[in-house]
Every structure is written in C-alpha cells, then in structure tokens.
Amino acid sequence: MTIQDYSQLPRRELARYIQFTNVAPNTTRDAIIAHVETCARYSLDAAMVSMYWVPLARDILRGTQVKVATCFSLGSGTESIQGKVELLRECIVLGADEADYEPNMGLYLSGMYDELQQEAAELVKASMGLPFKAMLEFGYLKTDEQKRHAAGLLVEAGVPWIKNSSGWGPGSVPATVEDIHLISEVCADTNSRVKASGKINSYDKAVDLLNAGAELLGTSSALAILGVEPVAAKTDQLYSY
C-alpha cells in the first residue's frame, strides 16, 4: 500500500529520502570513510561529499545502492557560466551520481533573469543526463513572489531538481514547510522535483518537509533523524584512492 502520509513511515525507512551531507572544508579522510560507511550501513539515498572525495566514496560504496552526490559553487555561485560547466563536467569525470550547484543569486537580484536562466540552461546541456540540483538561496529573496519567480526560471530551463537553500553560507536558510510547498507548486506538472535543505535535524521536521512536497532531504543530521549511532571508520582497510 502506498503511504500518503510520511508520518506513517517507520523512522529507519526515512533513510531512502536522505542525502547525508559532510562537505565541511576541514573534513579528514578518516571522517569521510566513516561518513560514507554510515551511509552504506543504513542504506541512505546518497553520501554527499566534496568533489575531492568522490572517487574514495565511489570505491567504498561499490556494490551498494547508495549514490555518491557532490556539490560545487557552494555558498557563492559567482563563478562564470563556463567555469560552472567545467565543474559539472568534472563531477561527471570523477564518477558522481548527482551534483548540486548554487545559481548566481546576484544575477537574480540584479534583475538579470535571462542570464540566470542561461546559466541553468548551459548546465542542463553539459549534464549529459546527470541529475543535478539548483541550490537557490531563499535567504536572499524577500517575498514569496520572488521565490516562485526564481524557481520558475530554473524549472523552465530544465533543471531537474530545485532546492530552497544550500544550507551553507550567508544566503542559506532553514528549510520550512511553506518554502518547500511553494517550490512543489512551481514544479507541479513539470519534470522538476524538490529537495529540501537547511537545519533538517529531527524526524518530525523531515516528515513535515516530505509531506510538503520534498522528495529528497539534504542534511548533516541523518543519524539524529533515524535515531541511530555513527559507524566507526575502518581505518585498517585500504581503498584504491
């Protein structure tokens, strides 16, 4: 039976909606190993790691159903369009299954809507079918009208996934039911889908966001949501990286 209300899901079954994130710049190799092994142990949707660690994560997750996700332009989004295209291509070369990027919010705030949409369209072309997500920073947008407009521009450009925030940097904001519902309305009857990110740190909050229309949750609090313990790194095991 299809569950319509996600609050009926057992806590552990939320794992398939969670992309467990560790992209802190001071993360060590051992910490990445422990993070990725945790994703495998609890069958999370994906391990979200910085680009440098993608090959290591792929090596660890070989033979599992857990995806390797990564991100670029985190907290800034101000690279040139061609720079972002090359970063997305590098994500593909490294072996990422998915990638998140931050749009240039300064373009939107300048009223340069065509340029923002062009950036998104160029990334769609360069993606070669790789699922990628636009991390809109709703913290920079003051009205629901702006949020709908910005999300709509990216949906029209063909971006597969729209997010409310990166959860990182000055424009980031906590995911709210209202914002996720707003994005889900924009994405309705299109090929774009919704991922929530930002301060998702409890079972109840995760369920509320899924019920609001999110299909994926980006969070560094996966263990708290699932009510489980971290996995100690197998530092005696050698990985081909």
Reported as a single tens digit per residue, the pLDDT across 124-157 is: 999 999 999 999 999 999 999 999 999 999 999 9
Mean pLDDT of the chain: 94
- Give the per-residue pLDDT at 230: 72
Tell me the average pLDDT across 64-82: 97
Residue 75 has pLDDT above 50, yes or no: yes
- Give the per-residue pLDDT at 58: 98
Rounded-to-integer distance, Cα 173 and Cα 170, Å: 8
Tell me the average pLDDT across 188-206: 97
- Give the per-residue pLDDT at 2: 43
Rounded-to-integer distance, Cα 166 and Cα 4, Å: 27
Look up residue 198 and give its two tokens: 């930002």
- Give the per-residue pLDDT at 231: 64
Rounded-to-integer distance, Cα 44 and Cα 146, Å: 33
The single-letter code of the amino acid at 206 is: A
Residue 106 has pLDDT above 90, yes or no: yes
pLDDT in tens, 35-49: 999 999 999 999 999
Q: Which positions are catalytic?
A: 100, 163, 195
Task: Determine contact, residues 239/59, Cβ cutoff 8 Å.
Answer: yes
pLDDT band at 229 (very low <50, low <70, confident <90, very high): confident
Tell me the average pLDDT across 181-197: 98
Q: How many CB atoms lie within 10 A of CB 224?
A: 14
Q: Indicate the helix (H) or strand (E) that contains 196.
A: strand 193-197
Query: Bridge partners of 161?
Result: 133, 193
Domain boundaries, the chain: 13-226
Residue 94 has pLDDT above 60, yes or no: yes
Tell me the average pLDDT across 78-101: 98
Look up residue 64 and give its two tokens: 């599992």
Q: For residue 84, give the nearest of 121, 131, 110, 58 by alpha carbon.
A: 121
- Give the per-residue pLDDT at 232: 66
pLDDT in tens, 2-35: 446 898 899 999 999 999 999 999 999 999 999 9
Residue 1 has pLDDT above 60, yes or no: no
Q: Which fold has domain 13-226?
A: TIM Barrel (3.20.20)
- Give the per-residue pLDDT at 7: 86
The per-residue b/e assignment along 35-71, b for 16 or more CB within 10 angstroms, e otherwise, is bbbbbbebebbbbbbbbebbbbbbbbbeeeebbbbbb
Residue 238 has pLDDT above 50, yes or no: no
Tell me the average pLDDT across 196-223: 97
Q: Name the residue with tokens 């993070």.
A: 35
Q: Which of 1-15, 19-33, 77-91, 214-228 has the lowest mean pLDDT?
A: 1-15
Tell me the average pLDDT across 181-199: 98
pTM of the model: 0.93
Query: Bridge partners of 162?
Result: 134, 194
